Chains A and B, each alone.
Chain A
Amino acid sequence: MLESDETQPRQETLDEYYVIDGDCHYMESFHDVAEYMEEPWKTKFEGSNFDEKGAKQNLSSFFPFSTGDRQAHGKITREHSSYPDEPETPERIRDGMKSIGVDETLLISHLILSGAGTTADDDRQTAFAKAYVEYMLEEVLDPGDGIHGLAPIPYSDVDASLEILDRIEGEDAYVGACFVTAGATPPLGNRKYDPLYERCEELGLPAVFHTGGAGLDEYVRAGYQEMLETHTLGFLESNMSQIVSLVVQGVPEKFPDLDIVFMESGITYLPGLMARLDEEYLKRPEEAPLLEKKPGEYITDFYYGTQPLEVSAETEYLEKCFDLVGADSLMFASDYPHWDYDRPTTVTDLPFLSEDEKKQILSENAKEVFGL
C-alpha cells in the first residue's frame, strides 16, 4: 500500500491548491469486471487464463498487449505504479489521490486502453465496456467523494456505444465519454461517429479522447526496438491523427456545443501540429469546407490534459507553448498510477504561470468542462 500523505515531499505545495485530476486510471481487474458481463462473455472471461491459472492480469489472453516494460525493467519500484497483480480496490484510488495531492479525480478504464488494439472483432471491446460501466457504477465511483468516471465508448460499434450513452444518462457518477485514440480506424472525424458526438452534445458530456498503448509496437510501422521510441512517437501519433481528423472533417462545426478534450501527450506537440495544419490549409481549404476559421483555432478551442508535461524543455519554449495553446484550454492530469505520472507540482512549479492560471489549470477548467 502507499504511504500516507505525510511522507510526500512538498506536501505544503500540494495543500495550497484544490486539484482536479483529469486523467487517472482505475486498475480494474478482468476478474472483477467479468461478474458484470453478459453472456457469452461472462463465461468466456471467467474461463480465460487469469488468476489461479497463473497469468497476471497484464498478460491477459483477452486483449493483446503492447511494447516494452512500463516499469523500465525494474527501475520504477513504487508500489502500485502500473499494473498490480491484485485487483484494484476503491481504497487504493483514495490513497493514490491523497498521495499525489488530488482532491477530485476522473477515472478511466486502463484495460480499455489496450482493448483498443483489438481489431479482430468489436464484440470484446463492447462486452468489456458495458460491464465496466456497471462495475464502476456499482462498486467504485463516488461523486460525492470526488471520484468521477468517464464511460468507455467502444466506438467501432456505434449502436453499442449509443446504448452505453443511454445507460449513463442521468448517472451523476459519469461526467464524460472516453474515446481511445489508438486504433481508431477510420479516424474519429469520420461521419460514422457523428451520432456519438451528437448524443454526447445532447447529454452535455464532454468527449475525452485518450491516447493509449494499444498496438504500440507497430503503431504505424513495424520494427521499432525500444519503448523509448514507440512511447514517444505512438502516443503522439494516436492523438495527432484524431485531432487532425476531427478538425478537418468539421466535428467542432457540426457539434458546436460539444466539449472536446485530449489526454496524455503533453502539450509541446500542439503548436507544431497547428502550424503545419494551418500551413496546409492555406493551400487547400476546399478540402475542409465546413471550417469557418483556421484549423489551429479549433485546436486551441479543445482542452488538453497536461501530462506528461515536458518540464525539462527550455522554459521560454514551454512558456510559448502554454501561450499558444492557452491556459484556458489546459487541465492538470496525472495519468496516475502509470509509470510516467505527473504530480500537480509539475504545474505549480512553472515560473511563467500566474496564480490565476495555475488555479485554472489545476481545477477550474475541469470544473467547468465536466460540470463538477
Chain B
Amino acid sequence: MSTTELIEVKPDAKFEDGDRELVEVNGVEVGVLRVDGEYYAVRNQCLHDCGPVAEGAIGKKLVGEFVEPGKRVEKEYDDDEPIISCPWHGWSYDLESGEQLADDDIVLPTYDVVVDDGVVYVDCQ
C-alpha cells in the first residue's frame, strides 16, 4: 500500500510559467517547474555526471521527418514534448517521462506534482 506524502513547494498563484523551485525530497534535490501551464518535477542530479539538470534550459524536442528521397529532412520542434537540458554537457531529458532523448534506457527520476487547495506539492512517493 502506498501512502502519499506531499512536500509543499509554493502557492499555485505565485508560480509563473518558466518559474522553477528547488525542494528536498527524501534527501535529494528536486526541481519543480512550470512550463506552458503544466507542472513537472525532476531530480536535480544529471545522470551523466551529477550536473544541476533541473536548473538547465527548457526546450522542445526537435523531430525530423523524411519526406521524400533527395529532399531535406523536415525538422520542427514538437510543442507537446518539453525537454530539459543539463547545463554542463547538454544531456537532455523528456520532462514528462525523464527519458534521456538519445537513449530511453537512461531515465531521470521524475515526480508527480499536485495542486491542492491552491498550493503546489511534490508527491514524494
Chain A: residues with CB nearer than 8 A to chain B?
A: 191-192, 194-195, 197-198, 249-250, 253-254, 281-286, 289-290, 294
Contacts and interface: CB of A to CB of B under 8 A. Distances in A.
A250 B101 CA distance: 16
Main secondary structure of the interface of B (DSSP, over half): loop
Contact of B63 (A197, A283, A289): A289
A254 B69 contact: yes
Interface of B: 48, 61-64, 66, 69-73, 75, 89-92, 100-103, 106
Nearest to B72: A191
Contacts of A191: 69-73
Contacts of B70: 191-192, 194-195
A192 B62 CA distance: 23
B102 A282 contact: yes
Contacts of B64: 250, 289-290
Given A254-B66, A282-B100, A290-B64, 11 more contacts: A194-B70, A197-B69, A253-B66, A282-B106, A283-B91, A284-B90, A285-B92, A286-B62, A286-B92, A286-B101, A290-B66
Contacts of A289: 62-64, 73, 75
B80 to A, nearest CB: 15
A324 B83 CA distance: 32
B8 to A, nearest CB: 35
A283 B102 CA distance: 8
Contacts of A285: 92, 101-102
A195 B68 CA distance: 9
Contacts of A194: 69-71
Contacts of A286: 61-62, 92, 101
* Residue among B63, B66, B91, B92 with most chain A CB within 10 A: B66
Contacts of B62: 286, 289
B104 to A, nearest CB: 9
B90 A290 contact: no
B102 to A, nearest CB: 4
Contacts of B71: 191, 194
Contacts of B72: 191
Nearest to B48: A282
14 contacts: A191-B70, A191-B72, A195-B69, A195-B70, A250-B64, A282-B91, A282-B103, A282-B106, A283-B91, A283-B102, A285-B92, A289-B63, A290-B66, A294-B103
Nearest to B75: A289
A15 to B, nearest CB: 46
B73 A250 contact: yes
A331 B44 CA distance: 47
Contact of B69 (A198, A281, A283, A284): A198
A256 to B, nearest CB: 11
A22 B103 CA distance: 34
Contacts of A290: 64, 66, 73
B96 to A, nearest CB: 17
A283 B73 contact: no
Contacts of A281: 102
A294 B89 CA distance: 18
B15 to A, nearest CB: 28
A289 B63 CA distance: 5
A313 to B, nearest CB: 29
Contacts of A282: 48, 91, 100, 102-103, 106
A139 B76 CA distance: 53
Contacts of A253: 66
Contact of B90 (A197, A198, A283): A283
A320 to B, nearest CB: 21
Most chain A beta-carbon contacts within 10 A, residue among B61, B63, B71, B102: B102
